[in-house]
Amino acid sequence: MLKVGIIGATGYTGGELARLLCNHPNMDLEVMTSRGKAGEEVSSVHGYLEGFVDLEFQESIGPDDDLDLVFLATPHGASMEHVPKLMDMGVKVVDLSGDYRLGDAQVYSEWYGKEHTDQKNLANAAYGIPELFRDEIAGAQLVANPGCYPTASILALAPLFSGGLVSGDVIIDAKSGTSGAGASPSARTHHPVCGESVLAYNTGKHRHQPEIDITLHRLGPGGGVFFSPHLVPFVRGILVSCYLNIKEKSDQASVLNTYQEFYEGERFVKVTDEASIRDVVGSNRCQIAPVVMGPGKVAVFASIDNLVKGASGQAIQCANLMSGLPEHTGIHFPGLGV
């Protein structure tokens, strides 16, 4: 049984990790940390874990905890303070923040507004989309878990970039529920503000923009990425709508076949006629629906649960690979449906 810990466990992703891990057949959740809640029962913050996670928050993780793997559910900038110590202890790490996603200290500084202090591990981190980088993840000690918007956007467009089919720029219109903003309330996510509204925010300066751009261009050539996120009044889920031109004047059947062949055998990606948030909420699944809109014109829609496939579920999928386990272990279940 692998001994596992979560650093920064009071937020939505930390709680979701604990919810998924408490029934994992090969991982034993032993430590959850919180500087502000140390000594308090985990269920006092995450009431839904009562009877499932019998732990108190610790202030920190130390060598005496003797863990095999640690998930970092910490804010940007905090993870790179923890990673070097954990790596020196020989612990495997999945970081859910943005600190190790971009792979370049200068790009990180430009988009996050701070210097990266762990360039050694930054260069060695694997990017955690198993459907695309499975071998790298399996051999890594440190995995940078992708952002929620990038997960949906990259999976939606990967077959076309990998096939060298993209012609010109790509437009990504993305919509997320309010849980994507985190557990701390803000004026923007206060229900009277966002409850009957749709808000386009941080267009052109969202930190997921370079992550999407860099990763897609690792897969193949293409133009620029125009990414615009929107806040919509539901709690969980993301729907991305991607619009682009492709080099071949393909029909619907051939584009659909491209996607079906690319994702053949993938347990968590379903190519379908229609991408539905309701079908994937509560699950680690992604639905993708490519649509030919005219000669050389394609729209691709993808849906995920931002807290599962977009965060904690994918983190466990990566941790399974890093630990030599079948990657679906502990996370293979359907969406809620209603």
Q: What is the pLDDT of residues 108-135, one digit of tens each?
A: 999 999 999 999 999 999 999 999 999 9
Question: Which residues touch 265 (CB under 8 Å, ≥6 apart)?
Answer: none
Q: What is the pLDDT of residues 301-323, one digit of tens each?
A: 999 999 999 999 999 999 999 99
By annotation, the residues acting in catalysis are: 148
Q: What is the pLDDT of residues 202-221, one digit of tens each?
A: 788 889 999 999 999 999 99
> Check: CATH 3.30.360.10 for 149-306?
yes
Q: Kindly state the tokens that stand for 276.
A: 């539905």
Average pLDDT over residues 145-153: 97
Q: Identify the pLDDT of residue 191.
A: 66
Question: Which residues touch 116 (CB under 8 Å, ≥6 apart)?
Answer: 80, 99, 105, 108, 109, 122
> Check: CATH 3.40.50.720 for 2-124?
yes
Q: What is the pLDDT of residues 1-24, one digit of tens each?
A: 999 999 999 999 999 999 999 999
Average pLDDT over residues 182-189: 66
Would the pLDDT of 184 be above 70? no
Would the pLDDT of 182 be above 70? no
Q: Domain segments of the chain: what residues? A: 2-124, 149-306
Q: Rounded distance, CA 236 to CA 232, Å?
A: 10
The 10 Å Cβ neighbour count of residue 168 is: 12
Least confident interval from 37-41, 72-76, 180-184, 274-278: 180-184
Whether the CB-CB separation of 221 and 164 falls below 8 Å is answered with yes
Question: Which residues touch 176 (CB under 8 Å, ≥6 apart)?
Answer: 148, 149, 229, 230, 231, 232, 237, 238, 306
